[in-house]
Amino acid sequence: MTSIERCLPMLVAILLLSGCSERSLETVRKVTYPPDFNYVSTQKLRGAMNQFAWYTGLLQRNLDNTEITPEQRLQTVQILKKMEELAADLGSRSLSSNHRQISENIDVFRRDIVEARNGLLRNPPDYNKARIVPSYCLRCHALGKER
């Protein structure tokens, strides 16, 4: 057997695997998953979680002061709006997902963020719900450690 004949199966495997890009897999998922299924890739999930962590840090910095300036309040409203949009992008309870904890908790998470944002828009502003937004992460992350 020549060296080319020995390498041929490996070469075929490499060519086949290189065709399995994320885009190719996305096409396959459209056919293999039902229309009411929201496939969230690991890359998208990690990106969203990193953004949530970043926004949570900004939120905590804005709300750590006893005196919150009008500018900090408006920044916090914008942060919560971004978190709401990010949560909406991950799906909803009515749309099953390959990440059960997200499917089961995302609507409540989004509702709580909206309530926190609405509290900041009141006159006078209510900061209580906005201050506890970081604890909402524990719904999924604490559950993940128990299961």
Instruction: Look up residue 9 and give its amino acid.
Output: P
What are the structural domain ranges in the chain? 1-32, 38-146
Maximum alpha-carbon separation in the chain: 83
pLDDT (0 to 100) of residue 36: 53
Q: Does the structure show a pLDDT above 60 at 140?
A: yes
Using one digit for the tens of pLDDT, what is the confidence trace for 54-109? 999 999 999 987 889 999 999 999 999 999 999 888 775 544 555 577 777 788 88
E strands within the chain?
A: 37-38, 96-97
For residues 76 and 120, the answer to whether their CB atoms sit within 8 Å is yes
Bridge partners (DSSP) of residue 37 are: 96
Mean pLDDT of the chain: 76
Residue 128 confidence class, pLDDT cut points 50, 70, 90: very high
Measured between alpha carbons, how far apart are the two ends of the chain, in Å? 52
